[in-house]
């Protein structure tokens, strides 16, 4: 068993809005082991990005607030670090890649300058060394003629290449954890496939652990070792990758997988659809957040929010009902 | 579900070039060849899927069919009427039959109009209902798309993405169209909501006998909803075939690469299967490669692929491919 790199317990994050307090993350526990890729899956507003941004303290406060929890990274609680300490961790030991490579790059700064910045800041390289390392990094992420392209601006790169640059930047200080927040969502499928292949290759070369946040159950199947499924600010199912797809246990996970068309479908079958909409989260749910949309719902679900309970090997689901039998646990 | 292959819409060698102007006197220096010669037919009652990556011209094709752009060349027939030469008033009347559903349900609804006014607008514009009958029809349309008619005096911002898309669908259905261009109607929606909207599209098609041109980049959804599928690359259709045929036996090297890039929600799939990862990016449509459009990224391209454009050839009944090497041994190996 490899050692634990990150251990998050009881994380809660809220946002103050004019309409009231939004309970975005409502007590999330998870661990990340060395070299492991953890997929975090869920729909918009389920808290998947906010929980990761909270750990890196990238939530704007106010309106956001981390109200509870701890995030232990190498014996230190990320949530209790000083601003200076956490700044050192970010971009150094833990780095992040965002969804939209256009808005995450500075449009008036050359790619070379942007790449050199973290190298000089975190690793203390001089200009010359930083330039050489930048070229190496661009080559590593598969940008042709890397030396010539350092003086280009982001708009001179295509969407896929910009995302490669973001990845190069994230890897520049040899992080132990890479947090990738929907890194391929804005890209076309063929470019998405290129980026996924690239990250799989770099994961082997660099050996970092990855948290891959996505709404796409297809992408996560191709890259993750383990998956957390989130809904309404909670992790509602966690499982090793194969078991999740073979034996989804939470009604929401079953619904999500069922709402995807089958790739080998010969005759058209009606898609399984989850009726209703995700919750608004203006109150912290005391019942199961999925119960209004669930077809297995029983009285217990409306009275008490289920904790994660074991349903298989390292596989846990937060549901009072055993979906294989339809009976209450 | 095609009714003895009655052709409802026919597109012939359609071209849509957008001029590029430069300099002080705004001289035309070139053109973005967004659509560069596509031909296809859509049969009554069927769904034709149009797939491709961003910038391949799939949306432009859809919009040009509705005459939202004036095409550079080519003909578009709806039944026996040629649309490109139609007088504006005749074309306006024609729009009763041909409707469009847009990608972004946030941008396609006027935020200052109530849902009632949004759905009633086409009714008023064509005088298809007046007075009390308008409200009656709006109620029916809202029920049709499974929205609560009691919400008709609310504004778009009070609705979720999926509900807004339903409003857009109700508006498109107001004048009982026969042909609907759906331009990425589910791309902006969450997975669980996508399935709801797709099921609604299928129900409406059955109920109202609709014909769809379904434009999308999500290949698995397109396979699900379409009867036939056309694959576009850089302004042209490279392959067109029946849905099962094209997914089981893709012939064009681009179709093969595109299909192998679809993320599959099954981890076991990735343990047994290697993807074809295509190198590089799509070239600019302002300056497309000579000859075959795909040759710059094609794993089996030869020198002669650059000399002329391959023929859009029917290699089996209903299966069209534009590739010189479609039956070459190089193309058999995957």
**Distance between CA atoms of residues B71 and B63, nearest Å:** 10
pLDDT for residue A2: 63
The structure's pTM equals: 0.85
Chain B residues in contact with A39 (beta carbon < 8 A): none
pLDDT the model gives residue B4 = 61
CB contact under 8 A, B195 and A191: no
Tokens standing for B172? 């498109």
**Alpha carbon distance B198, A273 (integer Å):** 9
Contact A221 B281 (CB under 8 A): no
Buried (b) or exposed (e) across B213-227, using 16+ Cβ within 10 A? Answer: bbbbbbbbbbbbbbb
Beta bridge partners of A7: A31, A72
| Six-digit token string for A283 | 């109150």
Neighbours of B247 (CB within 10 A): 21
B272 to chain A, minimum CA–CA distance in Å? Answer: 11
Contact B162 A256 (CB under 8 A): no
Q: What is the pLDDT of residue A134?
A: 92
- What is the distance of C-alpha A12 from the center of its chain? 16
Nearest CA in chain B to A227: B267
DSSP state of A180: E
Peptide bond into A154 cis (omega under 30): no
Residues paired with A239 in a beta bridge: A227
**Which residue, chain included where needed, has tokens 């026996």?**
B80
Q: How far apart are the first and last CA of chain A?
A: 31
CB contact under 8 A, A193 and B260: yes
The secondary structure of chain B in percent helix, strand, coil, rounded to multiples of 5, reads 35, 25, 40
Q: Please state at what angle helix A111-122 crosses helix A159-171, rounded to 10 degrees.
A: 10
Scanning A82-121 for CB atoms below 8 A from B yields none
Interchain proximity B53–A189, CB inside 8 Å: yes
A136 contact partners, CB below 8 Å, separation of at least 6: none
- Residues of B within 8 A of A281 (CB-CB) are none
Reported as a single tens digit per residue, the pLDDT across A6-64 is: 999 999 999 998 888 899 999 999 999 999 999 999 988 899 999 999 999 988 888 88
Q: What residues 166-225 of chain A have any CB closer than 8 A to a CB of chain B?
A: 188-194, 196-197, 215-219, 221-222
Nearest-5° angle of CA A171, CA A177, CA A181? 80
The partner residue sitting opposite A242, judged by closest CB among B217, B264, B267, is B267
**Chain A residues in contact with B220 (beta carbon < 8 A):** 218, 260-261, 263
Kindly state the DSSP code that residue B16 receives in the 8-state scheme. Answer: E
Q: Which residues 6+ apart lie within 8 Å of A61 measured at CB?
A: none
Chain A touched by B258 (CB under 8 Å): yes
- Nearest-angstrom CA–CA distance, B172 and B164: 13
* Contact check, Cβ <8 Å, B263/A222: yes
Match 């929980």 to its residue by tokens. Answer: A51
As beta bridge partners, residue B42 has B9
How many residues are listed for chain B in this entry? 334
Q: How many CB atoms lie within 10 A of CB B70?
A: 8
What is the separation of C-alpha B59 from the centre of its chain, rounded to a whole number of angstroms?
A: 6
Interface contacts (A, B; CB < 8 Å): 118
State the alpha helices, DSSP H only, in chain B. Answer: 58-65, 88-94, 115-125, 132-144, 161-173, 191-208, 219-225, 243-248, 253-260, 267-272, 329-332
For residue B293, give every residue at least 6 positions away whose Cβ sits within 8 Å of its Cβ, in sequence order, or none. B233, B234, B235, B236, B238, B283, B309
* Interface contact B182, partner A, CB < 8 A: no
Query: What pLDDT shows up at residue B1?
Result: 47
- pLDDT at residue number B333: 61
The whole-angstrom separation of Cα A283 and Cα A293 is: 17
Cβ–Cβ < 8 Å for B170, B202: no
Q: Which of A101, A143, A159, A190 to mutate to test the interface with B (most CBs of B within 10 A)?
A: A190
The two structure tokens encoding residue A73: 């990274």
* Burial class of residue A307 (count of CB atoms within 10 Å of its CB; 0-12, 13-18, 19+): exposed
Residue A72's alpha-carbon distances to A56, A58, A87, in angstroms, are 11, 16, 16
CB A241 within 8 A of CB B267: yes
Two tokens, residue B196: 């709801």
Tokens 């001089």 correspond to A126
ipTM over 0.90: no
**CA-based nearest residue to B99, from B14, B177, B20, B11:** B177
With beta carbons under 8 A apart, name residues in chain B contacting A260. 191, 195, 220, 265
Mark yes or no for CB contact A222/B194 under 8 Å: no
Q: What are phi and psi of A152, to 5 degrees?
A: -80, 155
Residue B315 buriedness (CB in 10 A; 0-12 / 13-18 / 19+): middle
Query: How close B24 comes to chain A (CA, Å)?
Result: 24
> Mind telling me how many Å the CA of B124 is from chain A's nearest CA?
32
H/E run at residue A235: strand A234-240
- Is A43 in CB contact (< 8 Å) with chain B? yes
Query: HSE of A279 in the Cβ direction (CA atoms, 13 Å)?
Result: 27
Q: ∠ CA(B213), CA(B216), CA(B220), 5° rounding?
A: 110
CB contact under 8 A, B217 and A242: no
CA atoms within 13 A on the CB side of B56: 24
Nearest CB to B270: which of A189, A190, A222? A222
Name the residue among B298, B223, B213, B301 with its Cα closest to residue B259: B223
The low-confidence residues of chain A, meaning pLDDT below 70, are: 1-2, 101, 263, 265-267
Question: A300 CB near a chain B CB, below 8 Å?
Answer: no
Mapped onto helix, strand or coil, the DSSP state of residue A135 is helix
Q: How far apart are CA A221 and CA A227, in angstroms?
A: 9
Regions of chain B with pLDDT less than 70: 1-4, 273-274, 333-334
In this predicted model, what pLDDT tens digit does every residue of A218-251 receive, in sequence order? 899 999 999 999 999 999 999 999 999 999 999 9
Distance from CA of B274 to the nearest CA of A (A): 11
> CA A153 to CA A174: how far, in whole Å?
24
Q: Two tokens at B284?
A: 């600019």
Contact criterion met (CB < 8 Å) for B192 and A43: yes
Q: B42, A177 in Cβ contact below 8 A?
A: no
A residues 220-279 lying closer than 8 A (beta carbon) to B: 221-222, 241-242, 245, 255-261, 263, 265-266, 268, 270-275, 277-278
| DSSP-derived 3-state class of residue B37 | strand
The pLDDT of residue A1 is 47
For position B277, what pLDDT does the model report? 73
Of B242, B165, B185, B179, the closest CA to residue B212 belongs to: B179
Q: Which residues of A touch B53 (CB under 8 A)?
A: 188-191
Helix (H, G, I), strand (E, B) or coil at B145: coil
CA distance B122 to B279: 46
The two beta strands, B211-216 and B179-183, are parallel
- Phi, psi dihedral angles at B188 (to 5 degrees): -90, 5
Whether A160 and chain B come into contact, CB under 8 Å, resolves to yes
């Amino acid at each position: 068993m490899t050692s634990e790199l990150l251990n998050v317990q009881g994380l809660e994050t809220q946002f103050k809005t004019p309409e009231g307090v939004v309970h975005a993350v409502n007590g999330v526990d998870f661990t990340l082991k060395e070299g492991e890729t953890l997929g975090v899956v869920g729909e918009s507003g389920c808290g998947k990005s906010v929980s990761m941004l909270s750990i890196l303290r990238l939530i704007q406060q106010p309106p956001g607030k981390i109200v509870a929890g701890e995030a232990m990274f190498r014996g230190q609680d990320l949530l209790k670090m000083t601003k200076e300490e956490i700044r050192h961790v970010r971009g150094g030991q833990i780095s992040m890649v965002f969804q939209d490579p256009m808005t995450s790059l500075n449009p008036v700064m050359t790619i070379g300058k942007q790449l050199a910045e973290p190298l000089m800041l975190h690793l203390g390289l001089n200009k010359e060394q930083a330039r050489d390392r930048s070229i190496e990094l661009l080559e590593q992420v598969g940008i042709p003629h890397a030396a010539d392209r350092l003086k280009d601006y982001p708009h001179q790169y295509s969407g896929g290449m910009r995302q490669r640059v973001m990845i190069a930047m994230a890897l520049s200080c040899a992080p132990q954890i890479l947090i990738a927040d929907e890194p391929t969502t804005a890209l076309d499928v063929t470019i998405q496939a290129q980026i996924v292949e690239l990250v799989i290759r770099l994961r082997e070369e660099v050996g970092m652990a990855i948290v891959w946040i996505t709404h796409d159950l297809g992408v996560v199947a191709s890259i993750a070792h383990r998956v957390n499924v989130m809904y309404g600010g909670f992790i509602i199912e966690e499982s090793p990758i194969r078991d999740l797809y073979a034996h989804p246990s939470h009604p929401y996970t079953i619904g999500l997988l069922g709402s995807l068309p089958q790739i080998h479908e010969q005759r058209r079958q009606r898609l399984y659809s989850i009726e209703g909409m995700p919750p608004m989260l203006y109150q912290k749910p005391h019942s199961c957040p999925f119960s209004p949309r669930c077809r297995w719902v029983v009285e217990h679900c409306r009275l008490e929010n289920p904790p994660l309970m074991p349903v298989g090997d390292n596989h846990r689901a937060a549901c009072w009902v055993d979906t294989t039998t339809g009976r209450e646990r | 579900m095609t009714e003895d292959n009655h052709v409802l819409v026919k597109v012939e060698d359609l071209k849509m070039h957008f001029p590029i102007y430069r300099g002080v006197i705004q001289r035309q220096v070139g053109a973005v060849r967004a659509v560069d010669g596509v031909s296809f037919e859509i049969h009554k009652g069927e769904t034709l899927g149009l797939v491709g990556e961003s910038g391949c011209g799939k949306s432009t094709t859809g919009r040009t069919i509705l005459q939202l752009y004036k095409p550079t060349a080519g003909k578009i027939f709806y039944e026996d009427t040629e649309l490109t030469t139609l007088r504006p008033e005749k074309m306006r009347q024609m729009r009763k039959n041909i409707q469009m559903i847009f990608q972004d349900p946030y941008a396609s609804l006027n935020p200052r109009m109530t849902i009632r006014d949004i759905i009633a607008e086409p009714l008023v514009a064509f005088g298809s209902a007046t007075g009390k009958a308008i409200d009656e029809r709006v109620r029916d349309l809202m029920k049709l798309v499974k929205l609560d008619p009691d919400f008709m005096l609310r504004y778009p911002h009070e609705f979720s993405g999926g509900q807004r898309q339903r409003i857009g669908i109700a508006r498109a259905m107001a004048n009982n169209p026969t042909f609907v261009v759906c331009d990425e109607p589910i791309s902006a929606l969450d997975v669980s909501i996508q399935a709801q909207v797709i099921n609604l599209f299928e129900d409406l098609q059955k109920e109202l006998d609709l014909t769809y041109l379904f434009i999308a980049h999500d290949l698995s959804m397109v396979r699900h909803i379409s009867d036939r599928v056309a694959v576009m690359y850089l302004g042209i259709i490279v392959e067109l075939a029946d849905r099962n045929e094209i997914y089981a036996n893709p012939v064009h090297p681009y179709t093969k690469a595109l299909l192998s890039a679809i993320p599959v929600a099954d981890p076991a799939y990735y343990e047994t299967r290697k993807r074809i990862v295509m190198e590089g990016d799509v070239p600019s449509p302002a300056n497309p490669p000579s000859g075959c459009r795909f040759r710059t990224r094609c794993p089996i391209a030869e020198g002669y692929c650059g000399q002329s454009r391959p023929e859009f050839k029917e290699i089996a009944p209903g299966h069209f491919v534009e590739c010189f090497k479609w039956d070459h041994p190089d193309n058999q190996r995957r």
